[in-house]
C-alpha cells in the first residue's frame, strides 16, 4: 500500500477527532442539530489549525442522512457518495491558482445547478484573500443571496486582506493556535496507533516546534520517525530538525550573561564553521532565554517546559541572573528573525547584536558601566581620550542599529552590516565600509538620509560619513574591536 503522510492519514473525519477549536466545533454542531445553517462562512486562522478539515466535516455533516452527534455517519449513501473526491456536491477551489474574475463567473454559473446527492451544494474556497478585486466583486452578489441549497465556506490565513463587503456577508470563525498539550496528545495517539516508540521529552519538543499547527507538528514528526527508524528520542529529534544542542545554547547564554566576549565569539565561530544556520541559531537562543525567564518567574516551570532534568538544571543555573537582564536579551534576540531576511552577512549581524547585548548586560551590573574594560594606561597604545572617543563611536553606532530595527528600517539596517569600524571625528560619525558596492549603497542620498534621520535622534550634532575601507580583508567582530581599540586591549 502506498505510504501516506501522517498529516493526511490522521486528518480528522468527525467532530470528535478535531484537535482544539472547541468553540468552533460546538457552534457548528449546534447549527446542524437545530438546522440553522448559514449561507456563507468565513474561517480565519494560521496554517494547520483545521480550517479545511472542519470545512469538509461540516459539508458532509449537513448532507448526512443520519448524523451522529452532529458528525457524518460515514455509512449512508450520501456519505459514501461525498467521500468520492470527484463528487460534484462538495467543490474545493484553491483561490491562489483560480483567482481571476473569469473563474468566479464560471462558479456563478455552476451555482445554478442543484446538488446531486445531498441537501446542500458546498463550495470551499481556500486562501480566498488571493482573489483579485474584480473577482471579489463578481462573487459579492452570489455570496449575499445564493440559492437555498448552496453554502459557501471561505478560508483565509490573512483576513485583513479581505474587503469589508465580503466580511459583512459571512458568519466568521477565528481559529486559534492549538495548545502544546493538545498537540502532545495528538502525537502520542499517532505514535501509539502507528507502533512508533517515543520519549515524552521528544514528543514535547516536536509539539513546541509545531508552533500551534497540527499539520506542521505531524510533518515534523514524520521527518523524525524516518530519521530515527521509528524510535523517536529527544536527542534524535534535535539532530533531525537541525536545532542547536541545548548544551551549546547554555554555553552561549552563559557567556552572554557573564559578558564574556572572547568565549562568546569563539562559540559563534565554531558554530558558523560547522555550517549551522545562524538565523536558526538566533531563533533557538531566543527560545532558550524564554525558558530561562520561565524558570525565573514560574514555580511550576518543570510542568511548563517539559524538558529533560539535565536541561532544567542548566536553566536553573542561569536563573540566578536579574530578570531584567534576561528579558532584555530575549527582546533583542526576538527581533532578529525579520532582519535576517534582508542581510547579506548573517554572521556579522548576529555578532554585532550579541556584542550590543553584552554591552547592555554589563551596564546593568554594578560597577561595570562598560562591556569592555580599558587596559592599564601604561600598556595602552592609544590615549584614554582616544579610547573613549572610539568607544563612544561604537556605542552610538549600536544605538543607531537598534533605532533602525525598532522603526522597521530593515533594509538600511542590513546595509550597515558591512560597516567594520566607527569613529566620531568632530561632528561626523565615520563609518568604515567593506566593499565598494556596499559603500555606494550606504552613500546613496536616500539611504544616507534615513541613517542621519535616526542618528540625529541619538545625537543631533552628528552626521554619518561613509568611508570605503581600504583593507579588503573581512574581519570578525573581535578583530574589528581590536582594530578600533588597539592590540593591547583586554577583552573579557
Domain 372-492 sits in CATH 3.30.300.180: yes
Exposed (0-12), middle (13-18) or buried (19+): which is 42, by Cβ within 10 Å?
Answer: buried
Look-up of cell digits 460515514:
74
Phi and psi at 173, nearest 5°, equal -130, 130
Classified by CATH at the fold level, domain 6-174 comes out as Rossmann fold (3.40.50)
Which CATH class name applies to 180-241? Answer: mainly alpha
pLDDT surpasses 60 at 28? yes
Classify each residue of 377-405 as buried b or exposed e, where b means 16 or more C-beta atoms within 10 Å of its C-beta: eeebebeeeebeebbebbbbbbbbbbbbb
Q: Residue 420: its pLDDT value, please?
A: 79
Q: How confident is the model at residue 55 (pLDDT cuts 50, 70, 90)?
A: very high
- Considering the four listed CATH numbers 1.20.272.10, 3.60.110.10, 3.30.870.10, 1.20.1440.230, the one that applies to the domain covering 245-367 is 1.20.272.10
* Nearest CA among 66, 65, 107, 59 for reference residue 83: 59
Q: Residue 86: its pLDDT value, please?
A: 84
pLDDT surpasses 50 at 116? yes
Q: Residue 98: its pLDDT value, please?
A: 82
Rounded-to-integer distance, Cα 360 and Cα 375, Å: 20
Q: Residue 186: its pLDDT value, please?
A: 94
Pairing status of strand 90-94 against strand 197-198: unpaired
Q: Residue 213: its pLDDT value, please?
A: 92
How much is the pTM? 0.65
pLDDT, one tens digit per residue, over 213-255 is: 999 999 999 999 999 888 999 888 988 887 788 888 999 999 9
Domain locations along the chain:
6-174, 180-241, 245-367, 372-492
Cβ neighbour number for residue 426 with a 10 Å cutoff: 10
Classify each residue of 148-167 as buried b or exposed e, where b means 16 or more C-beta atoms within 10 Å of its C-beta: ebbbbbbbbbebeebeeebe
Q: Residue 189: its pLDDT value, please?
A: 94
pLDDT, one tens digit per residue, over 354-411 is: 888 887 776 666 544 333 333 333 333 333 333 333 445 777 888 888 888 888 887 8
Amino acid at each position: 500500500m502506498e505510504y501516506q503522510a501522517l498529516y493526511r492519514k490522521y486528518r480528522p473525519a468527525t467532530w470528535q477527532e478535531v484537535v482544539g477549536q472547541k468553540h468552533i466545533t460546538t457552534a457548528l454542531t449546534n447549527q446542524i442539530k437545530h438546522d440553522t445553517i448559514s449561507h456563507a462562512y468565513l474561517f480565519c486562522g494560521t496554517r494547520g489549525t483545521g480550517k479545511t478539515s472542519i470545512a469538509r466535516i461540516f459539508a458532509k455533516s449537513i448532507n448526512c442522512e443520519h448524523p451522529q452527534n452532529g458528525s457524518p455517519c460515514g455509512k449512508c449513501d450520501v456519505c459514501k457518495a461525498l467521500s468520492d473526491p470527484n463528487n460534484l456536491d462538495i467543490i474545493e477551489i484553491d483561490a491562489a491558482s483560480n483567482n481571476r474574475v473569469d473563474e468566479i463567473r464560471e462558479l456563478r454559473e455552476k451555482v445554478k445547478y442543484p446538488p446531486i446527492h445531498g441537501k446542500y451544494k458546498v463550495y470551499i474556497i481556500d486562501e480566498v484573500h488571493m482573489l483579485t478585486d474584480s473577482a471579489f466583486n463578481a462573487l459579492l452578489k452570489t455570496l449575499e443571496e445564493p440559492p437555498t441549497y448552496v453554502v459557501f465556506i471561505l478560508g483565509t490565513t490573512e483576513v485583513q486582506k479581505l474587503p469589508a463587503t465580503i466580511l459583512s456577508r459571512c458568519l466568521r470563525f477565528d481559529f486559534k493556535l492549538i495548545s502544546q498539550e493538545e498537540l502532545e496528545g495528538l502525537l502520542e495517539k499517532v505514535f501509539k496507533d502507528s507502533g512508533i516508540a517515543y520519549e515524552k521529552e521528544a514528543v514535547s519538543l516536536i509539539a513546541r516546534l509545531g508552533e500551534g499547527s497540527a499539520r506542521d507538528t505531524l510533518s515534523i514528526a514524520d521527518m523524525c520517525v524516518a530519521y530515527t527508524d521509528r524510535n523517536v528520542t529527544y536527542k534524535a529529534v534535535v539532530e533531525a530538525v537541525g536545532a542547536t544542542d541545548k548544551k551549546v545554547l547554555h554555553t552561549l547564554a552563559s557567556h552572554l550573561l557573564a559578558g564574556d566576549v572572547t568565549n562568546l565569539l569563539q562559540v559563534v565561530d565554531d558554530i558558523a564553521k560547522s555550517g549551522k544556520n545562524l538565523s536558526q541559531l538566533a531563533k533557538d537562543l531566543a527560545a532558550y532565554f524564554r525558558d530561562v525567564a520561565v524558570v525565573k518567574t514560574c514555580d511550576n516551570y518543570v510542568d511548563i517546559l517539559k524538558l529533560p532534568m539535565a536541561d532544567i538544571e542548566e536553566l536553573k543555573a542561569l536563573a540566578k541572573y536579574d530578570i531584567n537582564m534576561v528579558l532584555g536579551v530575549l527582546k533583542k534576540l526576538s527581533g532578529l528573525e525579520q532582519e535576517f531576511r534582508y542581510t547579506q552577512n548573517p554572521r556579522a549581524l548576529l555578532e554585532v547584536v550579541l556584542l550590543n547585548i553584552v554591552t547592555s548586560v554589563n551596564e546593568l551590573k554594578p560597577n561595570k558601566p562598560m562591556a569592555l574594560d580599558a587596559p592599564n594606561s601604561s600598556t595602552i597604545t592609544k590615549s584614554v581620550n582616544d579610547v573613549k572617543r572610539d568607544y563612544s563611536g561604537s556605542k552610538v553606532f549600536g544605538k543607531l542599529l537598534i533605532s533602525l530595527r525598532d522603526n522597521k528600517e530593515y533594509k538600511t539596517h542590513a546595509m550597515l552590516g558591512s560597516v567594520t569600524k566607527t569613529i566620531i571625528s568632530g561632528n561626523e560619525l565615520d563609518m568604515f565600509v567593506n566593499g565598494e558596492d556596499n559603500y555606494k549603497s550606504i552613500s546613496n542620498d536616500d539611504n544616507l538620509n534615513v541613517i542621519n534621520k535616526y542618528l540625529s535622534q541619538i545625537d543631533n550634532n552628528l552626521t554619518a560619513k561613509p568611508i570605503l575601507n581600504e583593507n579588503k580583508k573581512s574581519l570578525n567582530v573581535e578583530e574589528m574591536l581590536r582594530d578600533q581599540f588597539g592590540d593591547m586591549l583586554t577583552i573579557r
